[in-house]
Structure 1
Amino acid sequence: MASSIPQFQTLITVEEFRKLVNEHFEKQISEGQLYDARDIERFNTVDLYTLMFIQHGQFGTSFNQERALHVFNAAMSWRKRHNVYDISTDEFPAEYIDRQVVYFKNNDKYHHRLLHIIISKFNKGRENKDTVKRFLTYNFEQQVREYPGEKIVILFDMSGTGIGNLDYDLVKFLISSMQLLYPGLVAYILLFNMPFLLSAAWKLIRTWLASEADQFVKYANNKSVGDFIPPDQLPVKMGGTADDDN
């Protein structure tokens, strides 16, 4: 039910965490090889961005310092390797926008923006995986830049999806993005109309999630999706009253 949406905790102050990170990674930061200086500047100046790292994975009664430092290092070093700070729409063919496979539109009942991913429009084996991952990253990055500190819902529309649409490598990338690369960004994942024939595949996918991440995965069909998304924010094709056009 929607009432079971995970709640995030803040178990250390922004100032304390910045001090911890800058002291622990002093050598890496000063050398400027592992991290992008612009990412470090944002971490040190945008409180809501820093807070995303603090809240990520903190479900206990005390701050998990080892985990927080691991997530910071993994995210920042990945950003540097993939030049994420400079990502832009100029990198993508127009079809990536026109196909409406991945796009933001409307909000859930808690005012989280909805990132729609239309699984039936993916063609496993014919997609350029690196480009698709880069386009997903672009959408995550735009959210973090424009709405720092605000979480999103990844809405997997699995209506009409078959085995030929499900790419495990891309699913692994999304899970990695949620757990490491964009800490604190995802409020929860909503699987809409998952076909029975994919239930076995999803059982495998769930083994890739961290133990506590299971609470971030929600299921809905046409009858129950209203527990998460108001009708006026839901496309007509999903049982709502919102305009279906992106």
Structure 2
Amino acid sequence: EVASPSYRLPISIPTSSHHASTMNCSLRSARRLSTVSNDSARLAISISELRSRIDKDLLRKCSPSDCHRLLREEWWLATFLLCYNNDVDVSLAVVTQCLKWRYNFQVEYIGLLSIKHLLDRKMMYIHGFDVERNPILWIRMREHTNGDRDTEKAFIFWIERHYMESRGAPISILIDMMGTTLVNLDYDLFKFILHSLKYYYPNCAQDLLVFESPSMLSASWKIIRTWIDLGHPQLTLVNRESIDQFIHPRFVPSHMGGEDPWEFTMEEIARCIPSRALNEEIIYENGMDKDEKMGAFPNKRSVKFESEDEETTRRTPLMIGAPTVRKPSKGPSSRRSMLPSSLRPLADRRVHAPSTDWGIDRFLSVCPRDELSLARLDESSNDLVDIVAVRNTSDRHLLFKIKTTSPEKFRVRPSGGRVAPGATEIVRVYLQNEYRSTGSREKFLLMALQHDSTNIEEFGELWNNTPQEWKAEHKLRCKIIDDDSSSNGSTPKERRREMGGGGSEMESIRQDLSTLSSNQKILGIVVVFLLLLQFMCILNERSNNASLRLAIETLANANKNTHEDI
């Protein structure tokens, strides 16, 4: 009985001797084979028990790929068991917390767009190998700002893809501290990295190297070392002279004193992510892995940031190497079902808004009427977003196209399309976060025409050749909703309600105001009545006091006369 091919036990199996004089060695080999068989059987039993004890309700929340790894593959559960000495109870607790974290952190839905600003600055990438032939994750800390949570997403983005594609293969992490100051050192980030490597990606990190740390940060590393225990990789400070003990100079960047002139670019991102096929079998050629050669990748893979179906890059797992195919529109109902959960309430309010919130122009209705309210609604992205509902109120098909004064600042999904009679199309407008300060000056123009053509690419020619009575235009201004909670004390959910307050909410507010006005009038009448009642009570009290005073004076005079007579 041997171990499952989906994971490898770190145990060597000796070969038997063919010499009769080595009987004792053969017996020792047999004992070792028996030990390997027992360990493999014990691990297989533990995997089966661990799999059966995972909460079924938790499994229903897992992504399809996580469910497949848990129920059909053995390597993932084996990494937890091997890390915790085959203790099923401890491993179950760690796996449960890991699955909850993956669900809450939305690990598989970290899109390239949410971390593109970090990738553009070459802050984090995978490239090269250490002396033990483990891939290296490079982190340039001078590109990090204390408190920037997108760095955590970028770290998980790379670790997740390496760990799952290579099935738990180790990786070395090098933190480049050149040019950093106290502003760049983030204790919370290091706590997150260490916690993730210990509990969510066990046995993943081989080494944690810190390159050229400034002397002013020496005390900080002493603090960080106190957080490291047996479940963490060893933290090692290296410099230009000692780095070759861990990484061969041909993989050390030239600016760090090495021989590697390679620089990370967005076009090379696919090459930085390991391929499972290449990791299943390592082939050595002239002392170098095929992985080390750029030609080992059969096809150059690329990532399209501006595909028409943006769910591919924003809310679905990144599939690098998959062909980019433009899918036909499935209609508004299908498109609404593909919306991120954070945008669906706003889309529903737009679609069901009262007529007062719609801009109506013959066969075209648009909501909002005249102003886009752009705000951050998706916690996984810093971009600002709003929803536009385009409704066809005629009995003919409608083609539409959306244009803006600054296309480089916005992403519109879809920027054009075909709407069936009586149907409503949902359009998402994203403003990139770096342009939020100037976004309020921009405008949008929605152009629509009635036509039976299905080719939106011919919209410009169709627009020029269509009679004016079959065309419509609608203009929209931009308004930026500030998401700084310190300015108004509101929470993100409250800001989303404020921003997404479509027609139904406005109508509810109007009704509440009317009710409050009526109640105010009633309260005014009650207050006046109470004032009159109080005034009457005061008059009555004064009258009673006067009568009492008169009675007292009369009684006093009578007593005085009586004493005089006596």
TM-score range, shorter chain: 0.7 to 0.9
Counterpart of 1:3 in structure 2 is: none
User: In structure 1, what is the Cα distance between the partners aligned to 2:68 and 2:169?
Assistant: 19
User: 1:206 Cα shift?
Assistant: 1.8
Q: Does 1:234 align with 2:255?
A: no
Residue 510 of structure 2 is matched in structure 1 by none
Q: 2:121 is matched with which residue?
A: 99
In the superposition, the TM-score normalised over structure 2's length comes to: 0.38
Tell me the residue number matched to 1:16.
45
Distance in structure 2 (CA, Å) of the matches to 1:175 and 1:134: 14
Deviation per residue, 1:185-224 (Å, 9 max, x gap): 11121111122211111111122223x2466222211111
Q: Distance in 2 between matches of 1:36 and 1:91?
A: 20
Whichever residue aligns with residue 192 of structure 1, its letter is F
The structure-2 alpha-carbon separation of the partners of 1:74 and 1:30, relative to structure 1 and needing over 3 Å to count, comes to closer
1:220 correspondence with 2:238: yes
**1:52-131 pair list within 5 angstroms:** 52-56=79-83, 58=84, 62-92=85-115, 94-125=116-147, 127=148, 129=149, 131=150
Per-residue deviation, 1:160: 2.2
Deviation string for 1:108-163 (max 9, x for gaps)?
011111100111221224x3x1x221121111111123221211111111122211
Indicate the percent of aligned positions where both proteins have the same amino acid. 25
2:211 aligned partner: 192
Q: Using the alignment, how far apart are the partners of 2:58 and 2:88 within structure 1?
A: 23
Residue 160 (str. 1) matches residue 182 (str. 2) = no
Question: In 2, are the aligned partners of 1:119 and 1:165 still within 8 Å (CA)?
Answer: yes
Distance 1:158 1:55 in 2: 33
Question: Contact conserved, 2:249 with 2:258, CA < 8 A, in 1?
Answer: yes
* Structure with the larger strand share: 2
Q: Which runs of 5+ in 1 are unaligned?
A: 1-7
Amino acid at match of 2:82: Q
1:46 aligns with 2:61: no
- Aligned twin of 2:380: none
Rounded to whole Å, the distance in 2 between the matches of 1:202 and 1:111 is: 27
Residues 175 and 84 of structure 1, relative CA distance in 2, 3 Å threshold:
same
Of 65-74 and 187-196, deviating more is: 65-74
C-alpha deviation, 1:232, in angstroms: 0.6
Report if the CA contact (8 A) 1:51-1:149 is conserved: no
Query: Contact 1:231 / 1:241 at 8 angstroms: preserved in 2?
Result: yes
1:41-83 per-position Cα deviation (integer Å, ceiling 9, x unaligned): 2133333333322333x4xxx5344432232122111111222
Output the amino acid matched with 2:187.
Y
Q: Would you say how many aligned residue pairs link Structure 1 and Structure 2?
A: 228
Match of 1:29?
Answer: 56
Question: Within 1, Cα distance between the matches of 2:117 and 2:217?
Answer: 27
Alpha-carbon RMSD across the aligned residues, in angstroms, is 2.4
TM-score, normalization by structure 1: 0.82
C-alpha contact 2:137 2:174 (8 A) present in aligned 1: yes
SS at match of 2:236: strand
Query: How much does 1:30 deviate?
Result: 4.8
Q: Which residue of 2 aligns with 1:5?
A: none
In the aligned structure 2, how far is the partner of 1:121 from the partner of 1:31?
37
Q: 2 CA distance for matches of 1:165 and 1:196? A: 14
Deviation, 1:9, is 5.9
In the alignment, residue 99 of structure 1 is paired with which amino acid?
R
Task: Determine which structure has more spread, i.e. the larger CA radius of gyration.
Answer: 2
1:67–1:220: structure 2 CA closer, same or farther, 3 Å change rule?
A: farther
Per-residue deviation, 1:33: 5.2
